[in-house]
Chains A and B, each alone.
Chain A
């Protein structure tokens, strides 16, 4: 009898303890705007893919919250001369398959990126500036560049340089894109293309085991559906592209936390400079547009007026820049008169058919009427638009600039004359700008480097190869019980520190 009572006490104690551990695995459901291209970093270049890859991989270096480069897999690094970088790697970092991360993996990753047979589709840092990668010892690797190349460090933070495990990548062959092995805080579980991606936590993550057990990315292409899912609890986190109207509406919802921060992309109406060679005309049209009104009416106040060609979230942004060309219709009319267009001017604004883009063009069109400029708005399907503007349009084209996230990546493709016919849609050839861009790439000293880009930004504003418009703010939202998420315009950061309160 006594034994039975004893047993029942033990049994009920056990039951109570196991009930505690029956806590359901915490799962973070994240909405994605589009599908993942591939888990192979050398085959993915969309922002959506970057968000997923950043959970699975680490990089030699990464961007800190202050926007400065800090070590990720590299503990420290130095330059022995303008061409040579030495990285000292952290020890004891484990891949998802248990293997240790070493210098061999760095060499393998970078050489694979440079190998045309692996089909690398990234554009920036295609590896052609990296001349060689040498393993000095197990935890030390040396990179030599072809020319002094300052953007290298920033390039290494990009999702395309996720460090691969040599053994696993070679073993998987062409199927690697569906079976990734990285060092990141989450490892691969399942991928149903176009529908969802499931990851689970990597308890041996060198940065500490993540606080959530599972991450599920759900592909939800329709913006209204994403908001509905957030409100109904179908997803926990929307890390970008929350429509500004929903932002205001959700302010009163106690179950939702909102996030707002500087946006990445700077909207601009680029001139085909060969069609508008007179700088006064270009400056006049800049003065003619009321950008603050645009922010209020089209972006519901959730945007900033542009201060130059780059947004403030791009590394290298000159913080002392004022707003570019504040609204001043009299100055606009005066400049146009000086240039000989007092009787009026007819131009065409080209854009792709997205509603928000058309609205921007129509707004500008309305502003321009005030100063005697008649603007026609023409739309073209996106890929046609890109191809046609590359060849050169008879007018202005609406694009937003971001690039890779650093000054070189934002400015070089758009403004260097060697890119006329492809990414330099301004068809603008300016020797001073070209020189500055080239110098910026090879100036290794950070202070001197920043000086060059400061001058560049001011010169570009002065020459006005575009109408500088606005920088929409980055808006995101999560369920109120999601803690630890920080909005980041450059890319979606790893979810290591995110937790979900029950």
Chain B
């Protein structure tokens, strides 16, 4: 099985190559001029040309792409046009910040989503089911920036117990984690519910009941472990997207994360940051997906046997 995963790891390389070409083409073909963004509306033609030369933007595209690839192989993701900082060091500084948010957010969403979905499944079509489904839907429907601002109003102004933005202490994490968690728990809850409902109907569960097995043991040993496999997929997908996907939360709570880095770079046509950032995110998503498949193999013997 390990051989299979080693092969999958190597297959990531052509994927990343494809991503690099795609992002390079898109970023350079998109309208917008980084020199203009840097110098502002009052820049004269002379100044623009000079800056473009300084930034190496006047070279032919194929040459620029070649340089880009060559540098990546050396581990150099280029330098930001805006700040002059190496892209890799900006990513290195911000990734732990976003990951911390993503991990705690995911844990929070699991902690709320799975019990919610389980309750909904076990008490299907009762008021409990309706209530849980309602909460799940509500969590998903609230626009996250609105939720963020409401929580800020509540807990920083009306009941001033938490800091409203920024980072530093564990208190700064609470509000953003709640926002992220509430958004993600909806899908986890729904997935858990439908997955469990499917398992509950299976013959072997009925057999277990008939055998006289205690319901609690049936739940935890048989239902959960089988039902959670699709849920792991969802959690993995959410987590994989988090490097770029938390940008709104990061903006509202003034958290200097990777999402904000990328969006600001896109706005400013900061090519190296967009290229380097997207490559980095692609690698991360690839690795997370690989890990999820790996977890499947561990959790489900049927899948393990497929990985030969």
Contacts and interface: CB of A to CB of B under 8 A. Distances in A.
Interface string B70-107: 00000000000011110000100110000000000000
B157 A119 contact: no
A500 B152 CA distance: 26
Nearest to A422: B45
B44 A413 contact: yes
Contact of A194 (B94, B252, B267, B269): B94
Interface residues of B, number: 47
Interface string B262-275: 00000111000000
A360 to B, nearest CB: 16
A224 B165 CA distance: 11
Contact of B254 (A126, A219, A233, A403): A219
Interface stretch (B35-43, B57-65, B186-194, B297-305): B35-43
A323 to B, nearest CB: 25
A219 B256 contact: yes
Given A381-B32, A386-B33, A45 B39 contact: yes
Contact of B33 (A229, A383, A403, A419): A383
Contacts of A11: none
A193 B83 contact: yes
A224 B44 contact: no
Nearest to A419: B44
Contact of B36 (A124, A390, A414): A390
Interface residues of A, number: 48
B248 to A, nearest CB: 9
A240 to B, nearest CB: 17
Nearest to A418: B44
A309 interface: no
A183 to B, nearest CB: 24
A382 B31 contact: no
Interface in A226-257: 228-229, 231-234
Interface in A125-166: 126
A383 B36 contact: yes
Interface string A191-221: 0111110000000000000000000001111
> Main SS of the interface on chain A?
mixed
B166 A195 contact: yes
Question: B42, B156, B157: which has the most chain A beta carbons within 10 Å?
Answer: B42
Given A219-B256, A387-B33, A228 B54 contact: no
Contacts of B153: 228
B31 A388 contact: yes
A254 to B, nearest CB: 15
B47 interface: yes
A317 B156 CA distance: 44
Question: A45, A222, A382: which has the most chain B beta carbons within 10 Å?
Answer: A222
B19 interface: no
Contact of B38 (A121, A126, A193): A121
24 contacts: A38-B84, A121-B38, A194-B261, A195-B166, A195-B167, A196-B166, A222-B251, A225-B149, A225-B164, A225-B165, A228-B153, A232-B163, A233-B160, A234-B156, A381-B31, A383-B31, A383-B36, A384-B31, A387-B32, A387-B36, A413-B42, A421-B45, A422-B43, A423-B44
Report, nearest first, the 3 A-B pairs whose CB atoms are least far apart: A194-B256, A383-B32, A413-B42
